[in-house]
Amino acid sequence: MSPRVYSEPPDGGWGWAITLACFMQSALVFGVTRPFGIFFVEFMAYFDEPSSATSWISSITVATSKFTSPLAGALATQYGERPVAMAGGLLSGLGYFLASFATNLAQLYIFIGVFTGIGGTFALWPSLALLSRYFERRRPLATSLALSGAGVASLALSPLFQFLVDLYGWRGALLLVSGMVFHLLPCGALLRPLVLPKDDALAAPPEQAVSWRHRLSSLFGLSLLRHRGFMTYTCCGVLNAAGFFVPLVHLVPHARELDFDEYQAAFLASAVGVADIGGRVACTWLVTCGPLRLCHHLTLWSFLTGVSVLAVPLGRSYGAVLAISACYGFLAGAVLPLRVSTLVEIVGPARIMGAIGLINLMESIGALSGPPLSGWIRDVSGSYKASFLAGGSFLVAGSLGLLLLPGYFSLHTPSPPTQNQEGSKPEDPWNPSQQNGVCLA
């Protein structure tokens, strides 16, 4: 399908269909991953492996997802978002299908870790990048609605996964999960590309277009590596990724260690999903009615998310653990939409595809190390308490690092990169080396 040309983001129209597609994609990617701790308990018992070894499944999934994000962005730039998203749906479903026949953890590392990691990236991130181009004024609302699918799915899938495991065993449950995940294919078919005039603002002159190095830099957004605002944001993202996924992996096993039964433990993941939805709604309302910028909201919500993770070891009774889990879900629910929207604010819609790819690539360092590190801490200490303390500390450090963003303490939002008067390089108010009269405080 030929891209539709708009003079400005339509802030609606077919963008709402893409919002629906992203909602389902986030449900079938993040929503399936979040309650996967139920399967980890089964894997530990079936293969007689420690927590640190089993945690590598989740870490490889997240790290592979982030590591291959630049490739997904480059392919979507070259061939369009639709075929890339549909290929990702096929690969994700195939990964869960093959995992149901695994005979050792190494095979789960490949089928769940690599296959679904790559597939989830190809299915979701190009779609979110396209969604950010369809909206401008309503971008925080559309992004929050799109990513709320993860919370809705977590609510429904946590008890469902436990029921399927009890009824069919973990192999039969994974087989049914693969059938659900294959629905990513029709979601990808809903994507319709569009062209904005701003897309040409960063285009290369004709004489540069023949250079393969420039073509490679354009496809992968490598010029952003010289962008101070983007690199500061990315370093904070690495710290956040190291702690963000710790509760998603270890909350259910932690509850089982506290002698809660399997359905009580599974309900904690459901509580996280319910609170996740509420957090996204509350965040969207606060963003639209307050004077603070997106980066300020992200700092606050990320910091409080870290505090909630630090509070997990304080829970002794089931009610206390449930309340802390709900707080974590409420606060964490706002973080991902804010991260995407804030990234658009920093680099502009024209460079968002490359920016998402690069930031996910570098965040793979934190995502790969966080859960195994917390699993190792559990194996050494004998409980998950110190694991949650480490994860929460990473989140708090990442949120405080956002204070170093250029112009952070100004209430004025810098404009996205635009073409300067000479037409040679894009003028970027977020980069202190190109201030051009913009006060960066």
pLDDT value of position 18: 93
> Is the pLDDT at 130 greater than 60, yes or no?
yes
Q: In angstroms, rounded to a whole number, what is the distance separating the alpha carbons of residues 38 and 253?
A: 8
pLDDT value of position 3: 64
Mean residue pLDDT of the chain comes to: 82
> Is the pLDDT at 27 greater than 50, yes or no?
yes
378: tokens are 């559990």
Cβ–Cβ < 8 Å for 279, 154: no
- Residue 293 region, left (φ>0) first, then alpha (ψ -120 to 50), else beta? beta
pLDDT value of position 378: 85
8: tokens are 């400005």
Enter the DSSP assignment of 434.
G
> Is the pLDDT at 441 greater than 60, yes or no?
no
Determine the average pLDDT of the residues in 138-144: 81
Distance of CA 278 to the CA centre of its chain: 18
Of 297, 292, 258, the closest CA to residue 279 belongs to 297
Question: How do beta strands 426-427 and 4-5 pair?
Answer: unpaired
> Is the pLDDT at 424 greater than 70, yes or no?
no
pLDDT value of position 38: 80
123: tokens are 């299915």
CA dihedral 11, 13, 14, 20 (to 10 degrees): 80
pLDDT band at 340 (very low <50, low <70, confident <90, very high): confident
Provide the 10 A C-beta neighbour count for residue 65: 27
pLDDT one-digit tens code per residue, 383-413: 888 889 999 999 999 999 999 988 888 776 6
pLDDT one-digit tens code per residue, 280-325: 878 878 877 777 888 898 999 999 999 999 999 998 888 999 999 9
pLDDT band at 53 (very low <50, low <70, confident <90, very high): confident
- Range of lowest pLDDT (176-180, 292-296, 361-365, 421-425): 421-425
CA dihedral 133, 290, 231, 214 (to 10 degrees): 20
pLDDT value of position 303: 95
What are the angstrom distances between the C-alpha of 94 and each of 28, 87, 115, 174?
13, 11, 8, 11
